Amino acid sequence: MKIIVAENYKELSQKAANLISAQVILKSDSVLGLATGSTPIGIYDQLVDRYQKGDLDFSQVSTVNLDEYYGLCSTDEQSYRYYMEKYLFSKVNLSKERCFLPDGTNLDGKIECKRYQDLIDALGGIDLQLLGLGHNGHIGFNEPADFFEKEVHLVNLTEQTIQANQRFFASIEEVPKQAYTMGIGTIFQAKKILLVVNGKEKAEALKKVVQGAICSQVPGSILQLHADVTVVADKEAASLL
C-alpha cells in the first residue's frame, strides 16, 4: 500500500483528483469505479473544475458505482444516483449511457445483483476504483461479517452505518436498512484502488485497515493484499499510523 498524507481536506481532494485525472489522461476509455459519501465530494469538485478548464475529457469514460440504497429511486435526493448526478454526472461530459449504479428500485435482489455483476464483468473490470471508508472499516457497503462476500450482493446495513448515514436523512427511520453493493471480489478485481480517508473519527478504522489483521470483521483490511492500492488520508485520519 502506498500512503499519501495530505495536510487537509482540500489537499486530500487535490491529490486524489490528480490520480484519477492521470488515469483518464493515460487511458481515455477508462472504467472508473466511483464512491459516494461526504469524503469524495471535494474530489468530484476538483474533477469538474479540471474538466471546465479543458484539462480533462470524460467522453469515452465509463463509470460504475460501488453501491446504492435498496428501494430508493434516482429522483430521491438520498439515492446515490441522485448524488452522482449532482456532484459529477451532470457537470462533465460523461455519456449518460455509460454511468452505471445498482438499480435501487429493482426489489428482486437476486436479479439485480446478477445484472450489476454481469455489467461490470462485461465492461472488462474496473481500471481505478475510488473508495471511502466507513467508521467500522466497511468499503462500499461491505459490512463487518463472518466472511467476505465476493460478488455484488444485497446487504443488511449495521446499526452503526445506519446511524452514521442518518445525517443525510430527515430522521433515522428514513435511512434504508438495506443496500446493493459490489462485493469484495468485485472491488478487488480493480486494477488500481484509491482509498480516501478524512478526519480524526476515521483514524482508528484506517489504522485497522492498514496495519491490523486481515479479517472480514474489518472489510477494508483485505486491501492489504491488493497489488496496487494508494491511500490518500488527511493528517488527522493518518494520525494513528
* Options 83, 141, 180, 188; binder of ligand GLP; rule CB under 6 A: 141
Is 153:113 a contact under the CB 8 Å cutoff? Answer: yes
* Options 33, 102, 134, 183; binder of ligand GLP; rule CB under 6 A: 134
Whether 138 is a known active-site residue: answer yes
The DSSP 8-state label assigned to residue 139 in this structure reads B
* Options 9, 44, 56, 67; binder of ligand GLP; rule CB under 6 A: 67
Residue 127 sits in the site that holds ligand GLP (CB under 6 A): no
E-only strand ranges, 99-205 = 99-100, 128-131, 153-156, 178-181, 192-197
Which of residues 46 and 161 has its CB atom nearest to ligand GLP in the complex?
A: 161
User: Which of the residues 68, 112, 143, 234 is marked catalytic?
Assistant: 143
Is 181:67 a contact under the CB 8 Å cutoff? Answer: yes
Which of residues 29 and 201 has its CB atom nearest to ligand GLP in the complex?
A: 201
Counting residues that bind ligand GLP (by CB under 6 A) gives: 14
Q: How far apart are CA 13 and CA 239, in angstroms?
A: 18
Which of residues 102 and 140 has its CB atom nearest to ligand GLP in the complex?
A: 140
Tell me whether residue 167 is exposed, middle or buried, using C-beta atoms within 10 angstroms of its C-beta: 0 to 12, 13 to 18, 19 or more. Answer: exposed
Q: How far apart are CA 187 and CA 128, in angstroms?
A: 10
User: Which of the residues 68, 112, 127, 136 is marked catalytic?
Assistant: 136
Closest residue by Cα to residue 195 from 234, 146, 151, 166: 234
Residue 23 sits in the site that holds ligand GLP (CB under 6 A): no
* Options 30, 136, 142, 161; binder of ligand GLP; rule CB under 6 A: 161
- CA dihedral over 84, 154, 115, 26, signed as positive or negative: positive
Residue 132 sits in the site that holds ligand GLP (CB under 6 A): yes
Residue 175 sits in the site that holds ligand GLP (CB under 6 A): no
Residues linked to residue 64 through DSSP beta bridges, in sequence order? 33, 100
Residue 149 sits in the site that holds ligand GLP (CB under 6 A): no
Nearest distance, CB of residue 53 and ligand GLP, angstroms:
26
* Options 13, 17, 37, 186; binder of ligand GLP; rule CB under 6 A: 37
Whether 136 is a known active-site residue: answer yes
SS3 at position 239: coil
Residues in the site for ligand GLP, rule: CB under 6 A? Answer: 35-39, 66-67, 132-134, 140-141, 161, 165
Q: Which residues are annotated as catalytic?
A: 67, 136, 138, 143
